[in-house]
Structure 1
Amino acid sequence: MTEFDPAVPSTPEPTSQAFGIDIGGTGIKGALVDISTGKLVTERVRVPTPNPSTPEAVGKVVAQLVTQAGWSGLVGATFPAVIQHGVAKSAANVDRSWIGTDVDAEFTASTGNRVIVLNDADAAGIAEARFGAAKGVEGVVILLTFGTGIGSAVLVDGKLVPNTELGHLEIGGHDAESRAAASVRDREGLSYKKWAKRVQEYMSHVEYLFSPDLFVVGGGVSKDSEKWVPLLDLNAPVRPAQLLNDAGIVGAAMAAAERLGE
């Protein structure tokens, strides 16, 4: 039996709502989420990510979003890092002082609410599996987010395999995201046709390793999916993500609620 710690705020069970927060390198977004539908109950609010993005500074913004919403209860948050048992093992686009920090404990202390944290791409994968492009799909689903880097989420029969970091696969002697991220397309001025060739090479390698039943592609370029997804030639179908900017918020809230119920 787990011993109750009075220092950690508790959340009544079951919960039909949770507050979701999506933390990125440039912005931190939050909204209240209806767990049963995946819909935002309140308007999405965005606050610039502080610079430097230290634990104390980010913790204050997270607390600000929760307080501004008048919320008291369960909070789920994404974080751009490998997260193991609530602890950051890396730091992508946030201050490196996060490495080794218990992010769950940091945000729980700053907000006064129970906060459960997970990797940002993993949250998007959960959201798409529950309410988006991967809803009802059995077997192996791989979500890839193309942005500053390449994030990944792997789900098997709807259950997340956390912290896969497939954007760092080595292909042709290069870190995959250093050639196929959406930021590379912008930086090098590549057409969608030329960039799609790089994405094809990368996704073919992922398919060879995992033989997924479905790929879901997200990130900002998913809104222009008709310009590059039809150029891909893969065995598995490829679907653009459906939840777009809400995916992290919804996935964080869902993951927190599901973990609380375990």
Structure 2
Amino acid sequence: MSPADAPKPSPRKKTARETTAPGPRTLAIDIGGTGLKALVLGPDGRSLTERQRVATPRPATPQAVMGALTKLIKPLGAFDRVSVGFPGVVEEGVTKTAHNLHKGWVGFQLAEELTKATGRPVRVLNDAGVQGFGIIEGRGVEMVLTLGTGMGCALYVDGKYVPNLELAHHPFRHGKTYEEYVGSAALKRVGQKKWNKHVQRVLEQIQPIWNPRKIYVGGGNAKLLDIPLPGNVQLTENVAGLLGGFALWKDEPRPR
């Protein structure tokens, strides 16, 4: 049989990722005290790639983290813009605090440096703030708590983010801050059972002060919770910290 007479292979059925409507692809990055994560989101805000993760380098200097991010995002393919969740206060793309990374992050031009590294526009927000955009309903007062290396916190009023609320570093009990009470170091020090009680006390303290309609609890250690949760408290998937990156560009006009 000649090549011309050979049966033609049937067309391969396209996957959901390949049939995504055209539009900007968003590289979402989550910088954490323990891990660095990234994936690419399509124009509908859904993931187009599998999540990539590497351990946060130690010491977690800006140079070390930037180098690790370059390797992390390489397998993810093309993207048009970048969203970053960062564990600290961020103002106009500049990181102001980074309690669980390295003092070199104070005053670091993260958005500018990532723009140079990727050749794409970059927007940066506190990591709990980004996570909230992936899960909030946009009604009333909503709060996000993330339980990981430290404790992240974000507050929203009718879907609008209140920036740079660092509840983690506010004094809580026995001379310890919220973060010292429920962060990873506390979990390791007191054990899972007692740590759960600590988290329960934090939730009880937050309710009468902030009176949130909903509290979303996420982060890497949220899976260890085995306490009864109040009706307005909801556990969330950790991937929300990446999926919320799409919302950082919601004011960007869609291509026509």
Please indicate, yes or no, whether the TM-score normalized by the shorter chain is above 0.5.
yes
Q: After the TM superposition, which residues 1-262 of structure 1 pair with which residues of structure 2 at under 5 Å, given as runs?
A: 15-36=23-44, 38-129=45-136, 136=137, 138-172=139-173, 173-191=175-193, 194-225=194-225, 227-228=226-227, 230=228, 232=229, 237-241=232-236, 243-244=237-238, 246-255=239-248, 257-258=249-250, 260=252
For residues 163 and 50 of structure 2, the distance between their equivalents in structure 1, rounded to whole angstroms, comes to 29
Report how many aligned residue pairs link the two structures.
Answer: 232
Q: Which runs of 4+ in 1 moved over 4 A?
A: none
Distance 1:52 1:220, change over 3 A: closer
For residues 182 and 69 of structure 2, the distance between their equivalents in structure 1, rounded to whole angstroms, comes to 32
Distance 1:260 1:96, change over 3 A: farther
Give the deviation of 1:69 after TM superposition.
2.1
Whether contact under 8 Å (1:62, 1:107) holds in the other structure is no
Larger radius of gyration: 2
Letter paired with 2:250: E
The CA deviation string for residues 134-179 of structure 1, in whole angstroms up to 9 with x for no partner, is xx35100111111222111111111211221112221233212212
Whether contact under 8 Å (1:83, 1:118) holds in the other structure is yes
Whether contact under 8 Å (1:77, 1:253) holds in the other structure is no
The CA deviation string for residues 171-199 of structure 1, in whole angstroms up to 9 with x for no partner, is 233212212335413321241xx333322
Give the deviation of 1:217 after TM superposition.
0.9
Whether contact under 8 Å (1:75, 1:253) holds in the other structure is no
- RMSD over aligned Cα, in angstroms? 2.3
Letter paired with 1:258: K
For residues 107 and 33 of structure 2, the distance between their equivalents in structure 1, rounded to whole angstroms, comes to 18
For residues 201 and 163 of structure 1, the distance between their equivalents in structure 2, rounded to whole angstroms, comes to 23
Tell me the secondary structure at the aligned position of residue 106 of structure 1: helix
For residues 186 and 52 of structure 1, the distance between their equivalents in structure 2, rounded to whole angstroms, comes to 20
For residues 87 and 201 of structure 1, the distance between their equivalents in structure 2, rounded to whole angstroms, comes to 33
Tell me the secondary structure at the aligned position of residue 120 of structure 2: coil
Higher helix share: 1
Unmatched 5+ stretches in structure 1: 1-13, 130-135
For residues 250 and 207 of structure 1, the distance between their equivalents in structure 2, rounded to whole angstroms, comes to 27
Whether contact under 8 Å (1:55, 1:106) holds in the other structure is no
For residues 79 and 192 of structure 2, the distance between their equivalents in structure 1, rounded to whole angstroms, comes to 47
More off after superposition, 24-33 vs 149-158: 24-33
Whether contact under 8 Å (1:147, 1:183) holds in the other structure is no
